[in-house]
């Protein structure tokens, strides 16, 4: 944790040795125009530190953003687990949460279509517990031995290192088409879950089945869920995500930091699905298979506590970059299952961190430190910080007593779940892992028509970038097993016939699960942290603008006035309205909604601005809420985002009214923003003006 922060501002400049530095502008030279001298130890120290600033980026999840906060359980969970932090409702357990994309390098764009990491480190009184999850509840593969292949296929292709942070290329789809077990995950990755609006607006999942162990040692399977409490679950439009990649590659990083700075703390509820070990067989699929969910309708998600992120890191490198999560960081009462993907992860995390963080002592880096005392006989190695006193570095020992002691499980020591294990040594996939398509069909059938359309378009885009026809063909054959209609819609745009289905095991039928649809499960409560653009030009009606702005601000939104010139615009009453940004520098894609105030001259000027017209047309295309006051409707209809006969006509996500009624119109506009996108407005295209 950030216990060793330092503030340099106002301090005397020193070397690493504490030597006060008199000149930080010039190297030591032989004469003012002479060569530099090797003896300049201050220059060499500074340059050496700089030369070695970079460490290897994470082999996956390289790009991320993080925040501090706390977790608090609602009531003691002793009936399922003896984990201390899940049994004390008064305790606020500090957490550090890192969100990430998976495929892109550290400098890639936030809005790439990708899975998002959702890693939580709980600094508990029994040691650190890491819940290293994703924003999608299943995974591409069932066995860890396939992970290097998956990641190689998804990363830029090996010969030219193209494309960056994108799966829309041959090698990814080649691998996927040959791995039918990935089909369920692919449905999620092609959905809007993979282009989240914000890290604050994502669900999180532990993915694997873990184990809860109670005080008597009884073990139960548990799946972990994070559900946003105040922000809903929202996605971007694909076209918007692509544009944001260029306009603001830091979109998600900025959004998280800004929201926390503004006091709009994101909150999630931790939910659990608990399954008695004896009931696991009755589910009809294997709980150890990470390509399967437990539908919430089968086993409800029980909310057990709340997480709040309320503090930004002080230093990106020291905290966000150096944090090291590990699925093996467990506490008494929580254990792993035999899921072969999870078992492989138990090896991989520390192994990769040894290289990334330069040796075995990275648990001593402040962000990784436990908040409880650490005592053991681990010693030495690169970057050792702890100064262990005495000559005893082994156990048991009899000299220099008292010796270090083990802690029995009854007194808080960790004990693995007493799971009976026997079997023949073999390399084989369990037959119970064999049904690769039924849950992909479940996901597809649980989506609303709009969400299905987005999945179709994503597949068309991704497979449309695949050059090898046989790969597209094989993917289509797999998609037939999910839904023939889906395969046909993708095939049509690819210009290929729908092939016969690829081989499969008999399908299992699931009832559609509304919880799998982002749109159906959304319960929008707040617009805190949402960005609203106000388009204004000289002659704007400032009274309407201010009334709407005040309502939006008090609902927690951020409001920015955009115009064709910086400075201020003169309003209709002779006052002036300060301008925050040029329309060209802050495009519609960085906003959640747009408001156009009244004022005949302002509306006329906006009508004549190609940038302003493009702004509202693009916001419309991306299904964003639009509000227009008074004469703004002239501009909006000229831009083609209103039917000619407006005002009076109400379209979803469009709020119109006269300039004097801004305050009364505000609640409808705010409700539209909370819904987020109005896909039901019809078409991506603007209305012919």
Which 47-66 residues touch ligand HDE, going by CB under 6 A?
58-61, 64
Q: Which is nearer to ligand HDE, 80 or 325 (CB)?
A: 325
**Is 255 or 672 the residue whose CB approaches ligand HDE more closely?**
255
Smallest CA-to-CA distance from 435 within 504, 381, 487, 388 is with: 504
Write the interaction track for ligand HDE spanning residues 134-153; mark x where CB under 6 A is met and - where it is not: x----x----x--x------
**Separation of alpha carbons 4 and 93, rounded Å:** 19
Least distance between ligand HDE and beta carbon 453 (Å): 28
Show the beta-strand stretches assigned E in 238-341: 267-276, 302-311, 334-336
Distance CA 266, CA 618 (A): 28
User: How far, in Å, CA of 191 to CA of 170, rounded?
Assistant: 20
**Which one of residues 74, 265, 349, 414 is an interface residue with ligand HDE (CB under 6 A)?**
349
**Coil, strand or helix at 396:** coil
| Distance of closest approach, residue 252 Cβ to ligand HDE, in angstroms | 14
Choose, by CB under 6 A, the member of 108, 142, 231, 353 that binds ligand HDE.
Answer: 353
Among residues 122, 128, 163, 275, the alpha carbon closest in space to that of 212 is found at: 275
Place of tokens 């109400």: 650
Q: Is residue 348 within 8 Å of 326, Cβ to Cβ? A: no
Residue number of the CB closest to ligand HDE reads 117
The three-class DSSP label of residue 616 is helix
Pairing of strands 219-228, 267-276: antiparallel
Quick check: is 61 catalytic?
yes
Instruction: Name the DSSP letter for residue 196.
Output: B
* φ and ψ at residue 477, rounded to 5 degrees: -65, -35
Binding mask 186-225 for ligand HDE (x = CB under 6 A): ---------------------x------------------
- Backbone φ/ψ region at 582: left (φ over 0), alpha (ψ -120 to 50), beta: beta
Helix (H) or strand (E) run with residue 238 in it? helix 238-247
CB of 24 to ligand HDE, least distance (A): 35
Cβ-based nearer residue to ligand HDE, 348 or 445: 348
The stretch near ligand HDE (CB under 6 A) out of 67-75, 166-174, 345-353, 408-416 is 345-353
Q: How far is the C-alpha of 464 from the C-alpha of 563, rounded, in Å?
A: 38
Closest to ligand HDE by CB, 206 or 305? 206
Stretch that binds ligand HDE, among 240-248, 340-348, 597-605, 673-681 (CB under 6 A): 340-348
Catalytic residue among 134, 231, 329, 368, which?
Answer: 134
Closest distance of CB 610 from ligand HDE, Å: 42
Cβ atoms within 10 Å of 322's Cβ, excluding its own: 18
- 678 catalytic? Reply is no
Does residue 100 touch ligand HDE according to CB under 6 A?
yes
Least distance to ligand HDE, CB of residue 344, Å: 4
Query: What is residue 201's three-state secondary structure?
Result: helix
Q: Which is nearer to ligand HDE, 96 or 591 (CB)?
A: 96
Query: Measured between alpha carbons, how far is 190 from 359 in angstroms, rounded to an integer?
Result: 38
- Closest distance of CB 140 from ligand HDE, Å: 8
Closer residue to ligand HDE, CB minimum distance, 144 or 561: 144
Residue among 87, 164, 218, 352 that touches ligand HDE (CB under 6 A): 352
Q: Is the torsion defined by CA of 557, 558, 564, 567 positive or negative?
A: positive
**Residue 68 binds ligand HDE, judged by CB under 6 A:** no
CB of 252 or CB of 345, closer to ligand HDE = 345
Considering only residues 263 through 322, tell me which ones interact with ligand HDE, judged by CB under 6 A: 290
Give the Å distances, CA to CA, from 275 to 92, 287, 632. 27, 9, 57
Residues 586-615 that bind ligand HDE (CB under 6 A): none
Distance CA 56, CA 51 (A): 13
User: In angstroms, what is the minimal distance from the CB of 119 to ligand HDE?
Assistant: 4
- 96 binds ligand HDE per the rule CB under 6 A: no
CB contact at 8 A, 298 and 178: no
Residue 106-135 contact track with ligand HDE, rule CB under 6 A, x = bound: -----------x-x------------xxx-
With CB under 6 A as the rule, give the number of residues binding ligand HDE: 27
Q: Which of 63, 82, 98, 454 binds ligand HDE (CB under 6 A)?
A: 98
Q: Which of 345, 472, 474, 651 binds ligand HDE (CB under 6 A)?
A: 345
Residue 15 CA to residue 338 CA, distance in Å, equals 52
Q: C-alpha angle with apex 462: 453 to 477, nearest 5 degrees?
A: 80
Per DSSP, what are the bridge partners of residue 224?
A: 272
Query: HSE-up of 192 (CA within 13 Å, CB side)?
Result: 26
For ligand HDE, which is the closer residue by CB, 150 or 537? 150
Q: Which of residues 552-591 bind ligand HDE (CB under 6 A)?
A: none
Measured between its terminal Cα atoms, the distance across the chain in Å is 58
Active-site choice (16, 24, 26, 61): 61
336 three-class SS: strand
Using CB under 6 A, list all residues that contact ligand HDE: 58-61, 64, 98, 100, 117, 119, 132-134, 139, 144, 147, 207, 290, 323-325, 341, 344-345, 348-349, 352-353
Q: Which residues are catalytic?
A: 61, 134
């Amino acid at each position: 944790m950030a216990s060793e922060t330092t503030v340099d501002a106002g301090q005397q400049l020193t070397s690493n040795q504490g030597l006060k530095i008199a000149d930080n502008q010039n190297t030591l030279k032989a004469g003012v125009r002479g060569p530099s001298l090797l003896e300049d130890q201050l220059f060499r120290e500074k340059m050496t530190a700089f030369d070695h600033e970079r460490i290897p980026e994470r082999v996956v999840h390289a790009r991320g953003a993080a925040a501090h906060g706390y977790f608090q359980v609602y009531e003691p969970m002793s009936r399922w687990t003896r984990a201390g932090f899940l049994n004390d409702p008064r305790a606020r357990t500090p957490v550090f949460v890192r969100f990430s994309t998976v495929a892109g390098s550290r400098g890639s764009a936030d809005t790439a279509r990708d899975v998002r990491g959702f890693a939580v480190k709980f600094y508990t009184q029994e040691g650190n517990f890491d819940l290293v999850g994703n924003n999608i509840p299943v995974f591409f593969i069932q066995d860890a031995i396939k992970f290097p292949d998956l990641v190689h296929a998804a990363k830029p292709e090996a010969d030219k290192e193209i494309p960056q942070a994108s799966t829309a290329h041959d090698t990814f789809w080649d691998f996927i088409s040959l791995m039918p077990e990935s089909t369920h995950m692919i449905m999620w990755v092609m959905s809007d879950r993979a282009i989240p609006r914000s890290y604050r607006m994502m669900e999180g999942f532990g993915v694997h089945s873990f184990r809860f162990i109670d005080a008597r040692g009884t073990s139960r399977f548990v799946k972990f869920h994070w559900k946003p409490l105040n922000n809903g679950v929202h996605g971007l439009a694909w076209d918007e995500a692509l544009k944001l990649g260029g306009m603001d590659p830091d979109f998600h990083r900025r959004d998280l930091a800004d929201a926390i700075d503004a006091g709009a703390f994101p909150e999630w509820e931790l939910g659990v699905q608990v399954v008695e070990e004896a009931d696991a067989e009755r589910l009809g699929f294997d709980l150890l298979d990470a390509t399967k969910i437990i539908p919430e309708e089968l086993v409800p998600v029980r909310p057990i506590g709340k997480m709040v992120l309320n503090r930004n890191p002080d230093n990106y490198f020291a905290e966000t970059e150096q944090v090291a999560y590990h699925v093996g960081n467990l506490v008494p009462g929580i254990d792993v299952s035999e899921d072969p993907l999870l078992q492989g992860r138990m090896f991989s995390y520390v192994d990769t961190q040894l290289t990334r963080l330069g040796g075995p002592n990275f648990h001593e880096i402040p962000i990784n430190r436990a908040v409880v005392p650490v005592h053991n006989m681990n010693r030495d190695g690169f970057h050792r910080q702890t100064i262990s006193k005495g000559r005893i570095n082994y156990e048991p020992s009899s000299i220099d007593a008292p010796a270090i002691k083990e802690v029995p499980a009854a007194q808080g020591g960790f004990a693995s779940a007493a799971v009976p294990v026997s079997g023949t040594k073999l390399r084989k996939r369990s037959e119970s892992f064999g049904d690769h398509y039924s849950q992909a069909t479940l996901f597809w059938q649980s989506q609303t028509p709009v969400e299905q359309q987005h999945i179709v378009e994503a597949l068309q885009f991704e497979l449309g970038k695949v050059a090898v026809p046989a790969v597209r063909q094989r993917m289509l054959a797999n998609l037939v097993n999910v839904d023939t209609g889906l395969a046909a819609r993708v095939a049509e745009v690819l210009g290929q016939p729908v092939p016969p289905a690829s081989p499969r095991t008999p399908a299992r039928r699931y009832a559609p699960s509304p919880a799998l649809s982002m749109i159906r499960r959304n319960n929008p409560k707040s617009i805190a942290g949402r960005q609203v653009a106000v388009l204004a030009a000289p002659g704007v009606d400032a009274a309407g603008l201010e009334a709407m702005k005040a309502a939006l601000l008090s609902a927690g939104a951020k409001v920015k006035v955009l115009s064709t010139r910086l400075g201020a615009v003169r309003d209709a009453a002779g006052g002036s309205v300060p301008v925050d940004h040029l329309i060209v520098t802050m495009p519609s894609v960085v906003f959640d909604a747009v408001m156009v105030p009244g004022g005949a001259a302002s509306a006329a000027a906006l009508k004549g601005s190609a940038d302003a017209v493009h702004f509202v047309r693009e916001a419309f295309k991306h299904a964003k809420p639009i509000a227009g006051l008074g004469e703004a409707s002239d501009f909006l209809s000229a831009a083609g985002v209103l039917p000619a006969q407006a005002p009076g006509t109400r379209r979803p996500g469009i709020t119109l009214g006269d300039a004097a009624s801004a305050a009364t119109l505000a609640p409808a506009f705010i409700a539209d923003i909370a819904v987020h996108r109005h896909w039901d407005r019809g078409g991506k295209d603007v209305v012919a003006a």
